[in-house]
A = this chain, B = another copy of it.
Amino acid sequence: MDAHQEALPDVIGRSIPRIDGRPKVTGHARFAADIAVRGMLHGRPVLAMPAHARIERIDVAGALAVPGVVAVLTAADLPIATEGNDRLHEPLARHEILWAGQPVALVVADTAEAAADAAQLVLVETTPLDAVVDLERAFEGGAPRARLTRPIEETVSGSAESQHAAVGGGAEEFTPDEPASANVVARSGYRRGDVESALAACDVVVEGRFTTSWVHQGYLEPQVATAATDDDGILHVTSATQGTFQTRSELARLFGRPIAAVRVTGATLGGAFGGKFLIVEPLAAAAALVVGRPVRVELTRNEDFRMSNPAPAGLIEVRAGATRDGRLRGLRARIRFDAGAFAESSVEGIAAMLTIGPYRWDAHEVVAFGIETNRFGTGAYRAPGATQATFALEQLIDELALRLDLDPIELRRRNLVGPDDEMADGTPWGGIGLAECLGRVAEHPLYRDRASLPDGEGVGLAVGAWPGGRQAASALCRLEADGRVTVVTGVVDMSGTMTGFATIAAAGLGIAADDVSVVAADTASAPRSPFSGGSVITYSMGRAVERATAVLREKILGYAAQVLEIDVRDLELADGAVRPKGTPERGITLAEIGERMDGWSAKHEPLEGHAGSIPPGLAPLTVVHLIHVRVDLESGEVRVLDHVVAQDVGRALNPAIIEGQLHGGATQGLGWALREAMVFDDAGQLLTGTFLDYALPTATDGPRFETLIVEVPSTDGPYGARGIGEGPVCGAAAAAANAVHDATGVRYRTLPMTAQRIWRGLRDRAPD
């Protein structure tokens, strides 16, 4: 693929098992709830019943009387040292209940049973307030407020006062000034050129209004955190978190402590997908500080559904047009996302960026609004905003291709961005492999032969794109006494990233990946590490590991040059030994070097490499989904038969892990497409609070997956690797919708496309 490919170390591109695989499949892995802590207490949250109410009084006497109960904490009891309107500062509701399920009190008891019993005896007296649960009504002027009290009066991000900022390439970021209710707490907009003229000049204009539901990250391990104060007064939190350093910073800020007076240990994660950041940690930590003993907060599945931070529901209205020559000309979109009780995540802003897709438009204008309602705080969910944005855009692109009588791949190809084109926010796309992904799918028999499918079957495709992320990262690499190598980072392994580090280090040092061990250290001892999310780990931390390895390699060669008395330029490091280029028999093995470094008599500084890094630019992820469905025209049930995922991974460090990632992400995309929705009644009560009601896809629902790995190396990633994680979910739901349209002639614009919805659409020849 690229010029350097043949020079790549052997270990790159080799499928090796995940380091975390064996302990997980054999049941040996110990998750956060499995860790024994002496003298530990159990914290049980008391969740609010109404969706919106003023708290008048919380009566804890009954709960306190339960044997084994140590404390019942309410918001006023928490040792929070700073103020803020964010969820971090409100682990327990203060004066106002913001959603049905918000934690109002925390019972702390010797046993989990006592805590659970007592939690039922906490009486929360409230005065009801209007529950703001309908997104569109909440947006309208004069709507009741979803939140009446706020600790800090502040100008919410993107106020109605319009602001503009050029972001380069003729593009502009701006604050849309459309009149709306005070529930609108976030506004953002992107535009370039004159979109009305562009649309007016189009031969074909299509439009649609797309609706998506609240979707839970569906991790199998509910949230859990344990906090205790160490001997030396350090607050030590062990939790199922995606980001130990971020958790440390935020808890230090919350409790007004020096950063080093908080220590966070990441436990083996039982799934996360963007949802595991600081939901239970502040509760456990606050309780441990108050009662002076270790406290664990371990949510039940139902509590996790009711109080965590799923992906928000959204409403996307788009008009898009093209000219007969197959050129995309203009796109206008309005996005309204539920921000729930806390608007921190700004998912609507990302969706706004992604709604123009990886395409060149003559002009575009996208506005987005985050609307406070009486629901959870919103969280990240693998590629937040992307599933929603692509569900809208890629259906319209499909429709344009049909209307223009163009091959849908051809229409996309003609309008793909080039390396110098920019995203909505002015970030250059750089070199991406989307054309190659489209090319691979175009050649696929499923696509070539799609005209010959039987009735009720259809094939659809969609493109997904994720800008990628980058974060500052450092890593440490040690040559051990036995010649093997240890890599130390503070990264929480979420998807095989540790195994990726082993490959990267092995490649840099000419050893086998088995000879590298990777340590996930806690915040006390680790080099500074990013959180696991946003597809940054392999790209950003992998780069730091590559650099740390290079430093170690230089030190090893320098030492060997001394020992062998040979110029370092005449030495090479391969197969676990340093050897003179001409006379390999005169070499010295890494094991021999390691042994010389060991013990009292070592005469040389330790051979270790440390390096920090931040990639200078992003390495966007692009993907094409090709989905083959069979729709039961009687029942409306959709069965996905084949699902081809072609993704540009930059460099496939370990194809087996990449395939697993693509399967997992695509499965989640199909969950969005066909099954998953958090459903509420009109009063805002969650109706789908268990895995019996909430229809997470299972292995038996899976189609035949096929993965097409495209390698267009990134400029800055290790060996050209890009992030992978967010990619395979992007566009999956859109491809499924296009396939359903291909099978049925009906275009569904609401997720999930349940059998009921499909059946109604078939009946009415139009979706609901």
Q: Which residues of A contact B (CB under 8 A)?
A: 19-20, 22-23, 28-30, 35-39, 231-233, 246, 249, 252, 258-261, 268, 469, 471-474, 476, 478, 480-482, 484, 486, 488, 517, 519, 521-522, 524-528, 530-531, 534, 544, 594, 597-600, 602-608, 610, 612-614
B605, A614: Cβ atoms under 8 Å? yes
Interchain CB contact (< 8 A) of A249 among B22, B29, B35, B598: B598
Complex alpha-carbon distance, A23 and B233, angstroms: 8
Q: How many subunits of this chain does the assembly comprise?
A: 2
Contacts of A612 in B (CB 8 A): 605-608
A23, B232: Cβ atoms under 8 Å? yes
Interchain CB contact (< 8 A) of A608 among B527, B594, B600: B527
Contacts of A258 in B (CB 8 A): 480, 482, 484, 517
Contacts of A260 in B (CB 8 A): 480, 484, 486, 517
From residue A31, how far is it (CB to closest CB) to chain B in Å?
A: 10
Contacts of A29 in B (CB 8 A): 231
Q: List 24 A-B contacts (CB under 8 A).
A: A23-B233, A36-B38, A258-B482, A258-B484, A259-B482, A259-B594, A260-B480, A260-B484, A260-B486, A261-B517, A469-B600, A471-B600, A472-B604, A472-B606, A473-B605, A486-B524, A521-B525, A525-B525, A528-B606, A602-B614, A603-B614, A605-B613, A607-B612, A608-B612
Given known contacts A480-B260, A521-B521, is B599 in contact with A249 (CB within 8 Å)?
yes
Complex alpha-carbon distance, A538 and B29, angstroms: 39
Contacts of A603 in B (CB 8 A): 472, 614
Kindly name the residue among A23, A472, A603 whose own CB sees the greatest number of chain B CB atoms within 10 A.
A472
Contacts of A602 in B (CB 8 A): 471-472, 614
Contacts of A471 in B (CB 8 A): 600, 602
Closest B residue by C-beta to A608: B474
Complex alpha-carbon distance, A614 and B268, angstroms: 37
A478, B249: Cβ atoms under 8 Å? no
Contacts of A597 in B (CB 8 A): 472, 528
B528, A524: Cβ atoms under 8 Å? no
Given known contacts A482-B252, A526-B525, is B231 in contact with A606 (CB within 8 Å)?
no
From residue A299, how far is it (CB to closest CB) to chain B in Å?
A: 21
A474, B259: Cβ atoms under 8 Å? no
A259, B19: Cβ atoms under 8 Å? no
Complex alpha-carbon distance, A372 and B564, angstroms: 40
Interchain CB contact (< 8 A) of A36 among B20, B36, B608: B36
Contacts of A36 in B (CB 8 A): 36-39
B231, A525: Cβ atoms under 8 Å? no
Not counting A249-B481, A605-B612, A608-B612, a sample of 6 additional A-B residue pairs whose C-beta atoms are within 8 angstroms of each other reads A259-B480, A259-B482, A471-B600, A486-B524, A603-B614, A605-B613
Complex alpha-carbon distance, A434 and B37, angstroms: 52
From residue A558, how far is it (CB to closest CB) to chain B in Å?
A: 12
Given known contacts A232-B19, A484-B258, is B249 in contact with A527 (CB within 8 Å)?
no
Given known contacts A232-B23, A486-B260, is B610 in contact with A608 (CB within 8 Å)?
yes
Complex alpha-carbon distance, A453 and B528, angstroms: 64
From residue A607, how far is it (CB to closest CB) to chain B in Å?
A: 8
A472, B231: Cβ atoms under 8 Å? no
Complex alpha-carbon distance, A472 and B476, angstroms: 17
Closest B residue by C-beta to A551: B610
Contacts of A261 in B (CB 8 A): 517
Contacts of A472 in B (CB 8 A): 597, 602-606
Contacts of A488 in B (CB 8 A): 524-525
Complex alpha-carbon distance, A23 and B613, angstroms: 37
A608, B528: Cβ atoms under 8 Å? yes
Complex alpha-carbon distance, A597 and B610, angstroms: 18
From residue A630, how far is it (CB to closest CB) to chain B in Å?
A: 42
